[in-house]
């Protein structure tokens, strides 16, 4: 069986831990909607079980999960066309994760840079779940036989591990059961940087709220954050090559390109040579035009939490219908007695 033998299926996930920001939107959500609109089967998951690898206040986790669902829908995901659900409602993820804990090797996990970053200096005090996190991520993807995984650049290493797990399982059991999924890391904004520092990633954990645009920010806040974004004193260069060594300028150009659905070359043709005093208002107008409606729609959706819960329960039932037979077959391959009835 070759990769082509698997029906194309897209899976991706986002953690409900804190605010969604422009990096999540351009690196993930916007591209989730594009995959959906191509007519491929798409599953998108709020990965609450990943979120609890670090402490989450229960009330905050519930609010963040529903707000994330609202963010998915406001970004163009249609619950009728995409399967939208939260991870903990589909037990097959954790069941498959255990299998993969037994496939993945300690050495593979120890190489994960995200674990090292998140655990920091006190790795002995990190949860076991934080260490095993990438095996659960592999389970998310492979329990659906997903073939394509749209993510931002920071998830590349986890996707490589997912591929290694699929290859090792297939090899150890002499089967071609799991597809080897393709990371889809495309477009101008696969790594959106902080607005305060062009060398660090835009992230929800940055203490400065000015470093990121949140999808819940209103129009004035979005415009202010762009106006105050760090830049250098030179005008934009006239060619892409001139962005070399100018990380803040590069970041704003990338954001513009991704928001406008343009290539970086097209942006340079339009804005090359302009001083930031001209380019920033252009970018602010564009960002407000694209992001403010999302924030308004999220607020509207959050007025009806029971509707959000209904969408997640419906998505979970549809997800389970795909996951359950794949888990059962996995157990059968491994020799688990009674697997047919799982």
Considering only 35, 96, 137, 268, the residue that binds ligand TYM (CB under 6 A) is 137
What is the helix (H) or strand (E) element at residue 254, kind and residue range? Answer: helix 247-260
**3-state secondary structure at position 103:** coil
**Nearest distance in Å: CB 184, ligand TYM:** 10
Of 118, 156, 230, 274, the active-site residue reads 118
115 in Cβ contact with 132 (< 8 Å): no
Query: How many residues comprise the chain?
Result: 342
Residue nearest to ligand TYM (CB): 27
Considering only 9, 12, 82, 166, the residue that binds ligand TYM (CB under 6 A) is 12
Considering only 191, 246, 318, 320, the residue that binds ligand TYM (CB under 6 A) is 191
Of 30, 201, 225, 280, the active-site residue reads 201
What is the helix (H) or strand (E) element at residue 292, kind and residue range? Answer: helix 276-301
**Nearest distance in Å: CB 155, ligand TYM:** 4
CA distance 12 to 150: 6
Q: Is 204 a catalytic residue?
A: yes
Q: Which two tokens stand for residue 48?
A: 């609450």
The secondary structure of 186-229 as a DSSP string is -STTSSPBPSS-TTSB--TT-S-GGGS-BTT--HHHHHHHHHT-
Q: Which two tokens stand for residue 154?
A: 């920071």
Whose tokens are 């779940």? That residue is: 129
Whose tokens are 């406001």? That residue is: 74
Terminal Cα-to-Cα distance of the chain (whole angstroms) = 25
Decide: is 151 part of the binding site for ligand TYM (CB under 6 A).
yes
Binding span for ligand TYM by CB under 6 A among 8-16, 123-131, 233-241, 315-323: 8-16
Decide: is 201 part of the binding site for ligand TYM (CB under 6 A).
yes
Decide: is 155 part of the binding site for ligand TYM (CB under 6 A).
yes
Binding span for ligand TYM by CB under 6 A among 10-18, 95-103, 251-259, 262-270: 10-18
Q: Compute how many other C-beta atoms are within 10 angstroms of the C-beta atom of residue 46.
A: 27
**Nearest distance in Å: CB 173, ligand TYM:** 23
Note the residues at the interface with ligand TYM (CB under 6 A).
11-15, 23-24, 27-28, 47, 50, 137, 140-141, 149, 151-152, 154-155, 158, 190-192, 201-203
Query: Which residues form the catalytic set?
Result: 118, 201, 204
């Amino acid at each position: 069986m070759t990769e082509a033998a698997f029906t194309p299926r897209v899976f991706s996930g986002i953690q409900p831990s804190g605010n969604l920001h422009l990096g999540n939107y351009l690196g993930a959500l916007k591209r989730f909607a594009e995959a959906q609109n191509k007519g491929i089967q798409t599953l998108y998951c709020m990965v609450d079980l990943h979120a609890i690898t670090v402490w989450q206040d229960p009330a905050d986790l519930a609010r963040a999960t529903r707000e994330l669902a609202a963010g998915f829908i406001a970004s163009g995901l249609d619950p009728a066309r995409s399967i939208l659900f939260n991870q903990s409602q589909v037990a097959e993820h954790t069941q498959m994760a255990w299998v993969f804990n037994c496939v993945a090797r300690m050495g593979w996990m120890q190489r994960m840079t995200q674990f090292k970053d998140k655990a920091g200096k006190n790795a002995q005090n990190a949860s076991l779940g934080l260490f095993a996190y990438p095996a659960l991520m592999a389970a998310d993807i492979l329990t659906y036989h997903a073939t394509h995984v749209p993510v931002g650049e920071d998830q590349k290493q986890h996707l490589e591990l997912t591929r290694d797990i699929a290859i090792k399982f297939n090899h150890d059991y002499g089967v071609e059961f799991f597809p080897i999924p393709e990371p889809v890391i495309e477009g101008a904004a696969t790594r959106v940087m902080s607005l305060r520092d062009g060398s660090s990633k835009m992230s929800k954990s940055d203490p400065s709220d000015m470093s990121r645009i949140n999808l819940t920010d209103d129009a004035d806040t979005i415009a202010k954050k762009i106006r105050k974004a760090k830049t250098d004193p030179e005008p934009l260069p006239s060619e892409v090559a001139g962005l070399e060594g100018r990380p803040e300028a590069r970041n704003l150009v990338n954001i513009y390109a991704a928001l406008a659905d343009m290539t970086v070359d097209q942006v340079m043709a339009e804005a090359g040579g302009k001083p930031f005093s001209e380019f920033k208002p252009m970018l602010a107008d564009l960002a407000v035009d694209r992001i403010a409606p999302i924030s308004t729609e999220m607020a509207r959706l959050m007025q009806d939490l029971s509707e959000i819960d209904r969408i997640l329960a419906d998505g979970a039932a549809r997800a389970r219908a795909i996951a359950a037979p794949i888990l059962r077959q996995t157990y059968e391959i491994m020799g688990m007695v009674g697997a047919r009835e799982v």
